[in-house]
A and B are shown apart, each in its own frame.
Chain A
């Protein structure tokens, strides 16, 4: 008979290994956050936030990159939100499952899987070259909008689905039209979840580099119009780090970028959990 370990011992061993791996993953996460915060946060002063970069970013602050980041992100979200929420409403309220929904869902899933460098290539050839927008806030935010569209669709759909069916039945029994039901009851109830999708998209846009570098460019001036190029914080950090221009400024930029994204994600996650718990 083959020699076998007591199943209880195997179980203990398995648990030790699994928890060790989980612990390692947590350690990696903590290491990243602590390392960037400790080295980066001391650099973050009001001067760092409010001064423009000088000498290619070797000195000065990051004000113009903050402005460019905000412009790009806001415009991208403004473009993607109506499309994403509209798609989610159509998928949940207006159709039965069928070929149309399957194609739309499949399209959104595939779009979510398209790597950012491909989106960057696409934005570069269509918006920057063919349509002649050049490296600009407009080209950048159009491409970013396509990137975050699947995130908004998925979260909004989940949020709208979480609104109990009874709400809709009550509205119909009161004689409300479908559109009234959606705009007055369903959407307000699903709002925290839709906000989650939008916040996650903001987080994703803030951290994106490959798309922005090839569509919005890397000009250090504060963009004054939609057709001006702008350098986002993520791109600025990438250039500082890669060209070794200034380690302290790189750490400072990374700290602000990372902490704002993590906070946004955390709030988004809490909102969604609260929504799901309320209706389950």
Chain B
């Protein structure tokens, strides 16, 4: 075997590291969690909301609903904010301004999730408790924090999508007498729509998978929330709160919770990849 061929083989093996990590992660999470799902039955596990692991009840229905609701409200907050930033940066601002704003906004991605959670507890939770009622630790608090945390994802992918739209489109529209805003709304945004949808989907993935910030502000009560001011426990919080002391079936149940989370995230990732490829 020539030296070049040898190097290529080695590099190929290195390149397999990410795929094989992903496979191993999947295998281990499923191996640990599936026995419990078979034991309880998939239907009871997903649909029941009775979670009392020491008494043998493993139902994560309420947590699935809570995770989805928190994510949904987070998107309502994060997507308009993020999209607005992206449109301003890509369409309505000077080159110097962009050079200043873009790296500044990217700093949001560097702030650790525990810091977001901490500030949520210190500032946001009392604000909600005093002005809107409820215990403060709530679905709303988690959603606001997550809405802010997904901003970097939404902003950077949307900007890429907007700047990928050729300038000829904009020039054509302006030449027809449209204003800059009409151009953005009727021409640029539709042309960039698949990229923006990808941004939203990946933002959802981040929101539903976030753990530490959510534990700190969501209140962690195991029940179906009746309003956005109720405390909730998400799938991720459930794992993180109980993994420290769980054993036996209880631990398997946490891995099974992980399977549900993993499947949701993989569906989101897959659809993001498919949408990007179609473009």
Chains A and B come from one and the same complex: yes
Q: Among the listed B14, B123, B185, B212, which residue makes an inter-chain contact with A83, where contact means beta carbons less than 8 Å apart?
A: B14
Q: Which of chain B's residues have a CB closer than 8 A to the CB of A226?
A: none
Q: Which of chain B's residues have a CB closer than 8 A to the CB of A104?
A: 15-16, 18-19
Asked if B112 is an interface residue, CB under 8 A from chain A, the answer is yes
Give 12 pairs: A residue, B residue, CB < 8 Å, sorted on A.
A11-B182, A14-B184, A83-B18, A87-B18, A90-B8, A109-B273, A113-B209, A113-B269, A114-B25, A241-B114, A254-B114, A261-B110
Question: Which 6 interchain pairs have the tightest Cβ spacing?
Answer: A115-B209, A207-B112, A86-B14, A107-B19, A21-B84, A11-B181
Q: Which of chain B's residues have a CB closer than 8 A to the CB of A51?
A: none
**Number of chain A residues close to chain B: CB under 8 A:** 82
Q: Which of chain A's residues have a CB closer than 8 A to the CB of B25?
A: 111, 114, 118-119, 122, 146
Q: Which of chain A's residues have a CB closer than 8 A to the CB of B210?
A: 115
Asked whether, in the complex, the Cβ of A122 is within 8 Å of the Cβ of B28, the reply is yes
Segment touching B, from A22-30, A54-62, A165-173, A187-195: A22-30
Asked if A225 is an interface residue, CB under 8 A from chain B, the answer is no
Asked if B224 is an interface residue, CB under 8 A from chain A, the answer is no
Asked whether, in the complex, the Cβ of A265 is within 8 Å of the Cβ of B107, the reply is yes
What sequence of 0s and 1s flags, for each residue 124-142 of chain A, a beta carbon within 8 Å of any chain B beta carbon? 1110000000000000000
- Decide: A117 near B211, CB < 8 A? Known: A86-B11, A90-B15, A111-B21: yes
Asked whether, in the complex, the Cβ of A125 is within 8 Å of the Cβ of B32, the reply is yes
What sequence of 0s and 1s flags, for each residue 1-42 of chain A, a beta carbon within 8 Å of any chain B beta carbon? 000000110110011011101101110110011011000000
Q: Among the listed B85, B111, B239, B258, which residue makes an inter-chain contact with A22, where contact means beta carbons less than 8 Å apart?
A: B85
What sequence of 0s and 1s flags, for each residue 118-130 of chain B, a beta carbon within 8 Å of any chain A beta carbon? 1101010000000
Q: Which of chain B's residues have a CB closer than 8 A to the CB of A214?
A: 240, 243-244
Q: Among the listed B10, B17, B208, B216, which residue makes an inter-chain contact with A149, where contact means beta carbons less than 8 Å apart?
A: B17
Asked whether, in the complex, the Cβ of B85 is within 8 Å of the Cβ of A25, the reply is yes
> What is the minimal beta-carbon distance from B272 to any residue of chain A, in angstroms?
8
Q: Which of chain A's residues have a CB closer than 8 A to the CB of B84?
A: 17-18, 21-22, 25
Asked if B62 is an interface residue, CB under 8 A from chain A, the answer is no
- Report the bound CA distance from A7 to B177 in whole Å: 10
Asked whether, in the complex, the Cβ of A179 is within 8 Å of the Cβ of B3, the reply is yes
Asked whether, in the complex, the Cβ of A242 is within 8 Å of the Cβ of B216, the reply is yes
> What is the minimal beta-carbon distance from B254 to any residue of chain A, in angstroms?
7
- Report the bound CA distance from A36 to B115 in whole Å: 9
Residues of A within 8 A of B (CB): 7-8, 10-11, 14-15, 17-19, 21-22, 24-26, 28-29, 32-33, 35-36, 82-83, 86-87, 89-91, 94, 100, 103-104, 106-111, 113-122, 124-126, 146, 149-150, 153, 177-179, 203, 206-210, 213-214, 234, 237-238, 241-242, 250, 254, 257-258, 261-262, 264-266, 269-270, 273
- Decide: A146 near B108, CB < 8 A? Known: A113-B265, A114-B265, A178-B4: no
- Report the bound CA distance from A118 to B25 in whole Å: 8
> What is the minimal beta-carbon distance from B8 to any residue of chain A, in angstroms?
5
- List B89-143 residues whose CB lies under 8 Å from chain A: 89, 92, 101, 103-119, 121, 123
Q: Which of chain B's residues have a CB closer than 8 A to the CB of A89?
A: 11
Asked whether, in the complex, the Cβ of B104 is within 8 Å of the Cβ of A94, the reply is no
Q: Which of chain A's residues have a CB closer than 8 A to the CB of B151?
A: 25
Chain B minimum-CB-distance residue to A103: B19
Chain A minimum-CB-distance residue to B21: A146
Asked if B221 is an interface residue, CB under 8 A from chain A, the answer is no
Asked if B200 is an interface residue, CB under 8 A from chain A, the answer is no
> What is the minimal beta-carbon distance from B193 to any residue of chain A, in angstroms?
18
